Amino acid sequence: MGEMVVSARRGEELVVIGLGSCIGLALIDIEGNAVGLAHVVLPEAQGAAGPPGKYGDLVVPALLRQIESVGARRGRLLAVLVGGARMFALGSIGDIGSRNAIAVKAALKSAGIRVHTEDIGGSRGRTARITIGESMTVQLAGGERRTLLDFARPTLSPRPAGNAGLAGARL
């Protein structure tokens, strides 16, 4: 949790497992075969120590630096969000999954990166997988794997479903 990974090696698989209220953020440059994946745990750092991939307000600039270092170009990036489930009532903390999604979307908007598709919300955990040069899939806990993004047809994105999963290089 809180980790980030990037790759530009076609065929490599990046995976994030156990996305409950956490957000799996993928930045994808299909043309450049570059992918960045982060496992966001909390909406804001609020001065706390920890890796930038852990926080929704810090993850986007940090992931951008990493993915650009492997050849991605910001103008070609697509963002895909997975997770953000409401796993349990947390009293005064509220719906952390929803807050994580809002924070990541705000950071993406600030960076000028559009959300291509998302699979967020619901009450079940997910796994996300990206096979570079091929596709990104999501799988609900105990469910079937579903394609969120086909790299050969990126303009044909599915509508947000609210309960799916992803997988790849484990975070």
- pLDDT band for position 90 (50/70/90)? low
**Which pair of structure tokens corresponds to residue 116?**
């291509």
Residue 91: its pLDDT value, please?
57
Q: What is the tens place of the pLDDT at every residue in 50-66?
A: 899 999 999 999 999 99
Residue 158 in this model has a pLDDT that exceeds 80: no
**C-alpha–C-alpha distance, residues 105 and 114, integer Å:** 9
Q: What is the tens place of the pLDDT at every residue in 10-32?
A: 999 999 998 999 999 999 999 99
Domain-embedded: residue 21: yes
Domain-embedded: residue 165: no
Task: Tell me the CATH number at 28.
Answer: 3.30.1330.200
- The boundaries of the domain holding residue 74 are 4-150
This prediction's pTM = 0.88
Q: Whole-number mean pLDDT of the chain?
A: 88
Residue 156 in this model has a pLDDT that exceeds 70: no
Domains contained in the chain, number: 1
**Which pair of structure tokens corresponds to residue 71?**
């050849």
